[in-house]
């Protein structure tokens, strides 16, 4: 009897291999032959799970976002207001080795998003959802009198721009993005 193949498991294995290669080499250093070898498959076998390199890269990008959102939800739990807003920021920031790896992958994949409308859309939807959640939590913190009233749009833009900047800096100059310095920066924006 033929062995059953778990297609989702194999797709995850290929995405994990793409993560490792992107993290090690950047997006320009990934090719299908090396990706197949890293995943433990033949080059031709990849076509059973993905239409090509672009689909693999998009899936890796979506996986970074999914994993980040999973951590955000777990961290926030039932927290509210400024506490929840701070937790959201912490999960988007490169504070852990895992988050630094994800930042390295995301920053590399942003290059592809410049010319790939699908990846651009995925990125913009994720950032839009995070900004919307920041806005809701910031408004809740104001209502709970944990933060002074201010222009939410400006505050949320400042937070997101700071977090994106921290991700880029963590990739290019990890020594200047120490955990306590990152936290102090966010706490300056939202108060702690």
Q: What is the pLDDT of residues 146-162, one digit of tens each?
A: 998 888 889 999 999 99
Residue 164, both tokens: 């994106």
**pLDDT greater than 90 at residue 30:** no
What CATH number has the domain bearing residue 161? 1.10.357.10
- What pLDDT is attached to residue 1? 56
Lowest mean pLDDT among 28-32, 65-69, 82-86, 122-126: 28-32
Residues 143, 153 contacting (CB under 8 angstroms): no
Considering the domain boundaries, does residue 175 fall inside one? Answer: yes
The parent domain of residue 146 ranges over 58-190
Percent of the chain with pLDDT over 90: 50
Cα–Cα distance for residue pair 111/151, rounded to 1 Å: 32
Cα–Cα distance for residue pair 61/41, rounded to 1 Å: 21
Considering the domain boundaries, does residue 73 fall inside one? Answer: yes
Rg (CA), the chain: 19
**pLDDT greater than 80 at residue 3:** no
Is this structure's pTM higher than 0.75?
yes
Q: State mean pLDDT over 109-127.
A: 90
Residues 88, 72 contacting (CB under 8 angstroms): yes
Three-class SS string for 166-185?
HHHHHHHCHHHCCHHHHHHH
**pLDDT greater than 90 at residue 173:** no
- What pLDDT is attached to residue 74? 97
Specify the number of domains making up the chain. Answer: 1
**pLDDT greater than 60 at residue 164:** yes
Cα–Cα distance for residue pair 29/22, rounded to 1 Å: 7
């Amino acid at each position: 009897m033929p062995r059953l193949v778990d297609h989702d498991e194999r797709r995850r294995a290929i995405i994990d291999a793409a993560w490792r290669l992107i993290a090690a080499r950047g997006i320009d250093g990934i090719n299908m032959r090396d990706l197949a070898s890293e995943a433990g498959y033949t080059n031709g076998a990849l076509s059973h799970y993905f239409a090509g390199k672009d689909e693999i890269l998009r899936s890796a990008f979506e996986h970074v976002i999914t994993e980040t959102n999973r951590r955000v939800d777990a961290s926030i739990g039932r927290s509210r207001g400024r506490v929840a807003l701070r937790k959201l920021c912490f999960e988007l920031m490169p504070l852990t080795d895992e988050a630094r790896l994800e930042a390295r992958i995301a920053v590399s994949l942003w290059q592809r998003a410049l010319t790939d409308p699908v990846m651009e859309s995925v990125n913009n939807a994720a950032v839009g959802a995070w900004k919307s959640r920041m806005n809701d939590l910031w408004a809740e913190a104001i209502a709970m009198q944990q933060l002074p009233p201010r222009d939410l749009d400006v505050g949320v833009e400042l937070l997101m721009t700071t977090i994106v900047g921290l991700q880029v800096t963590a990739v290019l100059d990890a020594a200047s993005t120490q955990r306590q310095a990152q936290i102090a920066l966010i706490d300056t924006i939202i108060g702690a």
